[in-house]
Amino acid sequence: MCHINIFNTENMDEKNFTPEESLSIISKTIEETRKKIQDNGHIMILWGCLIFTVIFSQYMLELLGLHKKFDIVWTCILFPLGAIYTFFYTRRKTKKNNIPKTVLGITIEAMGWVFGLNVLVLATVFNNHIGNALAPVIMILLAMTIIVIGLSIKYKPLTIGGIILNILAFGTFWVNPAYYGFSLMFGAIVGLIIPGILLNIAKKRGNV
């Protein structure tokens, strides 16, 4: 009979499983990872609101003539606070609920942090090189992350939100750069806030 090697994060030894056992382990891994993301639905809402708030505040500060004084400070305060909260909350939640670590879960978590670091580098180091294209590029990276996570845990609202965000990102290249911020705000709603709300609703109903 054919055997498949499965890599278990809890036990670093390589084991042999039958195809049936492997399928069962894969299904369990997806379910455990889905539960972890389900518990963190408000994190998606948080980041969607942060992005929306920062972009909206940029427009308001510019209208008030305070853009140069407070824009950088405002952005540099909110995003790091969001990252710190996300890090400690997910750690505490995982330990409290005794959620086992899985390869899929670790990969998805890593994707989120890699996305954040890439956006940070693009926005601070290469902003002058990318110019007005920064907004749609960030949206494309975010859309890719959301789509992969949605497909990985087999959650359609997340996948659909990512696809809509991806289409919106490419469409943004055809829009006047002055309106890129509005695309980002709408993208935050479609790609993060709405899927996050749906995750919370599904959690209460217990049918994620």
Q: Any residues with CB less than 8 A from the CB of 166 and at least 6 apart, and which?
A: 139, 140, 143, 144, 147
Top-confidence residue, 66 or 110: 110
What is the pairing mode between strands 4-6 and 15-17? antiparallel
pLDDT tens column, 28-73: 666 666 666 666 778 889 999 998 988 888 777 777 776 655 555 5
| φ, ψ (nearest 5 deg) of residue 15 | -120, 160
Q: Is the pLDDT of residue 126 over 50?
A: yes
User: Taking the domains of the chain in order of start, what are their residue ranges?
Assistant: 15-205
Per-residue CA distances from 199 to 24, 63, 101, 114, 196 (Å)? 24, 36, 20, 23, 5
Query: 13-17, 18-22, 55-59, 77-81: which has the minimum mean pLDDT?
Result: 13-17
Q: Is the pLDDT of residue 23 over 50?
A: yes
* pLDDT at residue 104, rounded to an integer: 65
| φ, ψ (nearest 5 deg) of residue 142 | -65, -45
Q: pLDDT above 90 covers what percent of the chain?
A: 12
pLDDT tens column, 2-11: 443 334 444 4
